[in-house]
Amino acid sequence: MAYLVLGRKVGQTIEITTDSGDRITVMLVSLGSAGKVRIGVDAPGDCTVHRGEVQRRIDNGESFATSGHDGPGDTEGPQDAAATDGHVFQVPREGE
């Protein structure tokens, strides 16, 4: 698998357009301590968005209620992501 690697500053976005014309926007929301990066994802309502480790657990049929780990939507700090595992938050976009 190959990755496209792009440099972005806080508040800047990456736009992804699907074959059906739907647009997914990924925004760099903040840079934190210890290398933690917070991103926001704005995707169509019929598109699910999960952290990679959550999606792998879903793919493996694991239940969040019995796994003993944090489930979808677990976040820390200010709720500033455009969308995060089922929770939607309003974040000003570039130029707004």
CA distance 60 to 45: 24
96 in any annotated domain: no
Looking at residue 34, the DSSP 8-state letter turns out to be G
Flag whether 1 is in a domain. Answer: no
**Residue range 44-81, pLDDT digits in tens:** 988 888 888 988 999 999 876 544 444 444 444 333 33
- Which amino acid makes up residue 88? V
Average pLDDT rounded to a whole number, residues 10-38: 93
29 has a pLDDT exceeding 70: yes
> What pLDDT, on the 0 to 100 scale, is given for residue 38?
92
Range of 46's domain? Answer: 13-88
In a domain, 69, yes or no: yes
Residue 6 lies in a domain: no
Question: Which residues touch 85 (CB under 8 Å, ≥6 apart)?
Answer: 49, 50, 51, 54, 72, 73, 74, 75
Counting the structural domains of the chain, the total is 1
Q: Please list, in sequence order, all residues whose beta carbon lies within 8 angstroms of the beta carbon of residue 84, skipping any fewer than 6 positions away.
A: 40, 41, 49, 73, 75
From CA 62, how far away is CA 85, in angstroms rounded?
16
Say what the pTM is: 0.61
Q: Look at residue 41 in the predicted model and tell me its pLDDT.
A: 93
- Domain assignment present for residue 2? The answer is no
Q: Is residue 95 part of a domain?
A: no
- Across the chain, mean pLDDT equals 75
51, part of any domain:
yes
Between 75 and 3, the more confident residue is 3
Is residue 4 included in any domain, yes or no?
A: no
